[in-house]
Amino acid sequence: MKHRPHLVLAWTLLGAAGSCPAASLDIAYHDCGIGLGNSKRLHGLRLNLSDREVERVDGLNVTLWAPQRNDAAGVNGLGLGVIGPGAGSIRGVAVGGLGVGARKLAGIAVAGVGVGAGHGSRGARPGVSAATGIFVGGVGVGADRLRGIAIGGVGVGAEDLGGICIGGIGVGGERASGLLVGGLGVGGEVLHGICVGGLGVGGQQIRGIAIGGLGVGGDDLVGLCIGGLGVGGDHVGGVALGGLTLSARDLVGFAASPFCRFKGDQTGLTLAVLNVARRLHGLQLGLFNYAGNNPWPARLLPVANVHLGG
């Protein structure tokens, strides 16, 4: 006799002595169907107050409260939460009234306060291990490693950023690459790409284009650097433009500012009202031009100066 598929109505009560029970009412066949409560595995529509020790959900997962001890769960599909969905991994679309949390995020995540996750045993905590996709947080977005598009009302931060990152106040990371825009500033140890800060851009190493409303500063600047007031660094290579001043130990390239000063070597061309270089290997053009490695009669000259020694 051929057996026809049939729906299974299951009531499960999960929990241990001394802990709150987690119950579910499932209308499902082979875990496919509708789950009401804390269904551990479900493919379909699942409605729950607060997720706890869930294994896997595929489909639509709706929760009302923050998760607890749910960092081993995998959610694939659409996750909606009044407080916010939280799991070990979320793939798909996640929307939270306050936040979205997971150790691994892939897809689209939108939250009223922030997008983040942690490694704790009680669900969502700030800081994501790995995030790939599009993330929008009313206050901020945070991750250990982030790839994609991230927009934070206050800021975006991660140890390793890559993509398009926009922060109302700032964007920061130990390593950041791509297009980085901060309302006040962009900062990090290593910045590669296009960095724009309303007030400034700062990093130990900057490669690419850096534009700061007030200034750009760093140990090693290579590319195009523009500072509303000035540019400062240990080594500057490429093109550097400062609204009032440009100061560095060494220059290789072109620099323009009312005042250009290099405490070490200037290799290239500078345009300024006052040019000062301890050792000149290039050309200075300006009202006053000082080259510390020239003989005295030629150290300070008007209009132009070049190095005359060996």
Asked which of 45-59, 97-111, 116-130 is least confident by mean pLDDT, the reply is 116-130
Tokens of 162: 């890559």
Distances (CA, A) of 219 to 59, 77, 157, 203, 264: 49, 45, 21, 7, 14
- Residue 204: pLDDT band with limits 50, 70, 90: very high
d(CA 297, CA 305): 11
Residues sharing a CB contact under 8 Å with residue 4, sequence separation 6 or more, in sequence order: none
The predicted model gives 286-292 an average pLDDT of 97
Q: Which of 206, 264, 267 is nearest to 215 (CA)?
A: 206
d(CA 33, CA 46): 8
The residue with tokens 């947080």 is 137
Q: Which amino acid is at 222?
A: V
Measured between alpha carbons, how far apart are the two ends of the chain, in Å? 102
pLDDT at res. 1: 44
Q: Taking a C-beta distance cutoff of 8 angstroms, is the pair 239, 227 a contact?
A: no
Per cent of the chain over pLDDT 90 is 81
The three-class DSSP label of residue 298 is helix
Residues sharing a CB contact under 8 Å with residue 240, sequence separation 6 or more, in sequence order: 221, 224, 225, 226, 231, 246, 248, 251, 253, 254, 255, 256, 257
pLDDT tops 50 at residue 16: no
- Report which of residues 11 and 203 the model is more confident about: 203
pLDDT tens, 100-120? 999 999 999 999 999 985 544
Tokens of 83: 């407080």
d(CA 186, CA 212): 9
Q: What is the pTM of this model?
A: 0.83
Residues sharing a CB contact under 8 Å with residue 3, sequence separation 6 or more, in sequence order: none
Surface-to-core class of residue 158, CB atoms within 10 Å of its CB (0-12 exposed, 13-18 middle, 19+ buried): buried
Distances (CA, A) of 214 to 38, 175, 244: 53, 22, 10
- Report which of residues 308 and 66 the model is more confident about: 66
The three-class DSSP label of residue 187 is strand
pLDDT at res. 250: 97
d(CA 193, CA 168): 19
- Report which of residues 199 and 6 the model is more confident about: 199
Q: What are all long-range contacts of 258-266, with beta carbons under 8 Å and residues at least 24 apart?
A: 260/284, 260/286
pLDDT at res. 15: 38
Distances (CA, A) of 163 to 134, 178, 179, 180, 181: 10, 5, 6, 8, 11
pLDDT at res. 22: 59
Q: Which amino acid is at 74?
A: G
- Maximum average pLDDT range among 18-32, 50-64, 124-138: 50-64
| Mean pLDDT, the chain, integer | 89
Q: Taking a C-beta distance cutoff of 8 angstroms, is the pair 204, 187 a contact?
A: no
d(CA 269, CA 178): 29
pLDDT tens, 243-275? 999 999 999 999 999 999 999 999 999 999 999
The predicted model gives 80-101 an average pLDDT of 94
d(CA 230, CA 71): 47
